[in-house]
């Protein structure tokens, strides 16, 4: 399997972490967004949406969208809860991540840390909605909950840790969210991120 990904992209790292966690071999093909390597005719033939990550499965078929990719790769593994309601809650967090977290936390980080902009340059919704997303996670981790869903690490944690762990690069202060900070440590340990 080939993974076309940009190493600075949390969406791309989700796929790497799931493969590493499952012991699934892959070739990583570094594909820079900043250098527009996702806009070449060759890349657009693989993914007309012009986004990374994309995987090319062993049989040559492509698959895009980070959360769809990790749901496919992790089918039948312990990263997806066996209980139907827990599985649904995992999906709830994953869709929420793409709609209400990534467009603010990841976008602030990319613009501020990688494009050299200042907060004044950002769409005024970005910072307050990022703060709201982090607070939503802090609230979701109440009651001594170790992971977002059930009692073990799941794809909900994979999807949400990707940009939350680097939210400080988007000038969010994680010290305001102590349960989120502790959860990041647990998820990194469970997925062996940074080893």
Q: Residues in the site for a second copy, rule: CB under 8 A?
A: 48-49, 57, 61, 63-69, 71-72, 75, 84-85, 87-89, 91-92, 94-96, 98-100, 102-103, 123, 136, 139-140
Nearest-angstrom CA–CA distance, 130 and 32: 25
CB closer to a second copy, 58 vs 192:
58
Q: How near is the Cβ of 9 to a second copy at its closest, in Å? A: 14
Using alpha carbons, list the distances in angstroms from residue 149 to 87, 88, 160, 194.
Answer: 8, 10, 12, 23
Q: How near is the Cβ of 19 to a second copy at its closest, in Å? A: 15
CB closer to a second copy, 37 vs 98:
98
Q: How near is the Cβ of 189 to a second copy at its closest, in Å? A: 27
Beta carbons within 8 Å of 145's beta carbon, 6+ residues apart: none
Q: Given CA atoms 95, 162, 77, 179 in this order, what sign does their dihedral have?
A: negative
Q: How near is the Cβ of 72 to a second copy at its closest, in Å? A: 4
* Side-chain-facing half-sphere of 152: CA atoms under 13 Å: 9
CB closer to a second copy, 49 vs 182:
49
CB closer to a second copy, 138 vs 188:
138
Using alpha carbons, list the distances in angstroms from residue 31 to 53, 64, 66, 193.
Answer: 9, 14, 15, 21
């Amino acid at each position: 399997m080939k993974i076309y990904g940009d190493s600075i992209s949390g969406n791309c790292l989700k796929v790497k972490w799931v493969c590493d966690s499952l012991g699934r071999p892959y070739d990583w093909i570094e594909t820079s967004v900043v250098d527009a390597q996702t806009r070449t005719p060759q890349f657009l033939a693989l993914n007309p949406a012009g986004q990374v990550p994309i995987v090319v499965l062993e049989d040559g078929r492509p698959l895009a969208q980070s959360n769809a990719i990790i749901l496919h790769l992790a089918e039948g593994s312990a990263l997806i809860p066996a209980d139907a309601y827990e599985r649904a809650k995992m999906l709830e967090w994953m869709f929420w991540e793409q709609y209400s977290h990534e467009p603010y936390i990841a976008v602030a980080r990319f613009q501020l840390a990688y494009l050299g902009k200042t907060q004044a340059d950002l769409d005024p919704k970005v910072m307050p909605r990022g703060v709201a997303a982090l607070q939503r996670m802090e609230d979701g981790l109440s009651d001594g909950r170790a992971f977002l869903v059930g009692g073990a690490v799941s794809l909900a944690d994979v999807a949400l840790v990707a940009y939350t762990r680097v939210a400080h690069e988007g000038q969010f202060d994680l010290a305001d969210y102590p349960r989120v900070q502790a959860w990041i440590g647990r998820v990194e340990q469970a997925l062996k991120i940074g080893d």
